[in-house]
């Protein structure tokens, strides 16, 4: 453990670590700094008294595998996760339900996230990406500097809204009640490392969260009711071939397990819990996806040879006529599965800049065992597998801070070949991310339709001239200006200011 204080637990040690980074940097950076004092074990404990519960910090793939895949705590989620997610979801949902609650709902939604069904969503992804491309085009014409992540968050809300609800939110084009309520909820969400009492216990927060929650529930409830009417009409015709959205397939699976005659109104309990799941799908499906898109553009721009290689791959698979590209991707979505280098670029992007980490609930009698056989009790602990630290841990990664897509294309004889369990953006085990296939498909669509049309370059130098640092004078992390900050998930600093130009 780091140095402990009876009055403040490890908060002083964490603050000391945070002070080594830019103000507002993601708290995982502090834990990464502390982890350097425990390089071999890959685990240490921190006491967050008086603002939080004790944590076991895991930065080793072996211990991560134990926590999420092979021990009896692999399916558990701590109560604190429900507290974090409640403003987002309105109540227990896929991420934070107890094991008993989670299992039937995961089974209910699994068919909607099958690879075959996701390919049917590609035409909708293309349609929304074309709107995004128009937004980029307007910035390319003006040459202005703008925060790409803010723009992309609205785009990814359009993407996930279409896949989940089979409805167009048009968030990229203006106000949408559901999208703007969710974005507001995230802005008001209490940061996990916040120690300022006026910010941590802001008197307006409960009202804002209550209001946003009502707006989201009302909007989603109305959309679920619409899909229920579609289901009843399809049931009468015995034709569900055109109902492929996530909520459509969930309704079909639910009614398959309901032997009674089809009711006029949807079951209230199903409607309530389905609404919570939809809220978490909307959050998870837009937040980290936006961050990954921005970081992919950032890393490709900073690595011209990788950019040229991904463009060459796209030309070989999709051809050189960009005018036919949208229809080609829509009509032949299987081509997206023939992009090994693109897949490697995305995996390397998520290795360097994962959108979130994983957490499990410790239990009596459950120990995690390090590579040397040392045992670490989990009882009373929240076990935090800190992905940004684990995925740059030099014990398991050669050249850990370098962007090297080729590490995903080499064989096990190569020193770059990834160590088993060291890459975990979607986690492993039964409670892995249900939407990982959807995310990867969306990311490939976006790169396919954008990367050969535009050059997107970071504009941090210009941004910093307009917004000079007035805090601790530290502006980079390991020389990286686009370090991660906490805005719901992890996002690029200052929401990635950039400029877009037409590809020359």
Tell me the per-residue pLDDT of 381-397, one tens digit each, with 9 for 90 and over: 999 999 999 999 999 99
Count of Cβ atoms closer than 10 Å to residue 12 Cβ: 14
Residue 335 has pLDDT above 90, yes or no: yes
pTM of the model: 0.96
Residue 83: burial class (beta carbons within 10 Å; 0-12, 13-18, 19+): exposed
Q: Phi and psi for 146 in degrees, rounded to 5?
A: -150, 165
How far apart are alpha carbons 130 and 122 in whole angstroms? 12
For residue 67, the 8-state DSSP code is: I
Average pLDDT on 406-412 reads 98
Residue 195 has pLDDT above 70, yes or no: no
Map residue 7 onto helix, strand or coil. coil
pLDDT confidence of 40, banded at 50, 70, 90? confident
| pLDDT reported for residue 50 | 83
Mean pLDDT of the chain: 94
Tell me the per-residue pLDDT of 288-319, one tens digit each, with 9 for 90 and over: 999 999 999 999 999 999 999 999 999 999 99
Residue 311: burial class (beta carbons within 10 Å; 0-12, 13-18, 19+): middle
| pLDDT reported for residue 92 | 93
Average pLDDT on 448-455 reads 98
| pLDDT reported for residue 259 | 66
Residues 6+ apart with CB under 8 A from 121: 162, 163, 244, 245, 438, 441
Return the closest-CA partner of residue 280 out of 142, 434, 394. 434
Tell me the per-residue pLDDT of 153-165, one tens digit each, with 9 for 90 and over: 999 999 999 999 9
The answer to whether 28 touches 357, Cβ cutoff 8 Å, is yes
Tell me the per-residue pLDDT of 101-136, one tens digit each, with 9 for 90 and over: 999 999 999 999 999 999 999 999 999 999 999 999
| pLDDT reported for residue 262 | 84
Map residue 454 onto helix, strand or coil. strand
Residue 489 has pLDDT above 90, yes or no: yes
Residue 193 has pLDDT above 70, yes or no: no
| pLDDT reported for residue 4 | 79
Residue 257 has pLDDT above 70, yes or no: yes
pLDDT confidence of 264, banded at 50, 70, 90? confident
| pLDDT reported for residue 9 | 82
DSSP string, 296-356: HHHHHHH-HHHHHHHHHHHHHHH-S-GGGHHHHHHH-GGGGGG-HHHHHHHHHHHHHS-S-
Tell me the per-residue pLDDT of 48-105, one tens digit each, with 9 for 90 and over: 888 888 999 999 999 999 999 999 999 999 988 988 899 999 999 999 999 999 999 9
C-alpha distance across the termini of the chain, in Å? 53
How far apart are alpha carbons 148 and 410 in whole angstroms? 33
How far apart are alpha carbons 47 and 69 in whole angstroms? 25
Query: Distance of CA 128 to CAs 61, 154, 159, 161, 391, Å?
Result: 37, 11, 6, 10, 32
In the β-sheet with 497-502, what is the strand arrangement from edge to edge?
Answer: 146-147, 497-502, 454-458
Q: Could you tell me what percent of the chain has a pLDDT over 90? A: 83
Tell me the per-residue pLDDT of 346-357, one tens digit each, with 9 for 90 and over: 999 999 999 999
Q: Could you tell me what percent of the chain has a pLDDT over 70? A: 97
Map residue 394 onto helix, strand or coil. coil
Return the closest-CA partner of residue 388 out of 430, 352, 358, 413. 352
Residues 6+ apart with CB under 8 A from 45: 1, 54, 55, 56, 57, 376, 381
Map residue 263 onto helix, strand or coil. coil
Place of tokens 């780091």: 2
């Amino acid at each position: 453990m780091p140095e402990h204080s009876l009055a403040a637990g490890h908060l002083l040690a964490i603050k000391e670590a945070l002070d080594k980074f830019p103000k507002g940097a993601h708290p995982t950076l502090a834990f990464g700094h502390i982890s350097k004092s425990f390089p071999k074990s890959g685990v240490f404990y921190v006491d967050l008294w008086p603002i939080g519960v004790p944590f076991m910090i895991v930065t080793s793939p072996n211990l991560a595998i134990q926590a999420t895949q092979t021990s009896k705590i692999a399916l558990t989620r701590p109560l604190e996760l429900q507290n974090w997610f409640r403003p987002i979801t309105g109540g227990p949902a896929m991420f934070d339900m107890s094991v008993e609650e989670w299992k039937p709902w995961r089974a209910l939604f699994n068919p909607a996230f099958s690879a075959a069904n996701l390919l049917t969503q590609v035409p909708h992804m293309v349609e929304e990406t074309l709107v995004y491309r128009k937004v980029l085009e307007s910035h390319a014409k003006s040459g202005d500097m703008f925060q790409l992540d803010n723009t992309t968050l609205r785009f990814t809300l359009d993407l996930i809204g279409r896949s989940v609800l089979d409805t167009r939110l048009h968030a990229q084009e203006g106000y949408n009640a559901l999208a703007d309520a969710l974005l507001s909820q995230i802005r008001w969400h209490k940061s996990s490392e916040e120690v300022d009492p006026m910010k941590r216990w802001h008197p307006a927060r409960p009202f804002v969260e209550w209001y946003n929650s009502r707006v989201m529930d009302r909007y989603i409830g109305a959309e679920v009711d619409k899909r229920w009417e579609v289901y009843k009409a399809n049931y009468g015709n015995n034709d569900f071939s055109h109902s492929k959205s996530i909520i459509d397939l969930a309704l079909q699976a639910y009614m398959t397990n309901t032997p009674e005659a089809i009711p006029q109104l949807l079951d209230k309990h199903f409607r309530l819990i389905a609404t919570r799941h939809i809220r978490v799908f909307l959050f998870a499906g837009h937040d980290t996806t936006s961050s990954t898109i921005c970081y992919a553009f950032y890393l490709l721009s900073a690595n011209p040879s990788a950019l040229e290689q991904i463009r060459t791959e796209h030309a070989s698979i999709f051809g050189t006529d960009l005018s036919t590209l949208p229809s080609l991707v829509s009509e032949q979505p299987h081509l997206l599965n023939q992009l090994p280098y693109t897949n490697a670029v995305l995996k390397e992007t998520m290795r360097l800049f994962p959108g979130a980490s994983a957490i499990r609930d410790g239990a009596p009698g459950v120990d995690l065992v390090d590579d040397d056989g040392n045992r670490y009790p989990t009882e009373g602990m929240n076990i935090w597998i800190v992905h940004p630290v684990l995925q740059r841990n030099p014990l398991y990664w050669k050249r850990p801070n370098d962007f090297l897509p080729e590490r995903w294309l080499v064989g096990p004889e190569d020193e770059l070949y990834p160590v088993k369990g060291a890459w975990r953006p979607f986690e492993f085990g039964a409670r892995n991310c249900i939407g990982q296939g959807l995310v990867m498909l969306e990311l490939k669509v976006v790169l396919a339709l954008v990367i050969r049309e535009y050059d997107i370059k970071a504009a941090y130098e210009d941004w910093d001239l307009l917004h000079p640092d007035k805090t601790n004078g530290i502006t980079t992390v390991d020389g990286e200006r686009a370090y991660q900050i906490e805005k719901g998930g992890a996002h690029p600093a200052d929401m990635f200011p950039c400029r877009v130009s037409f590809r020359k």
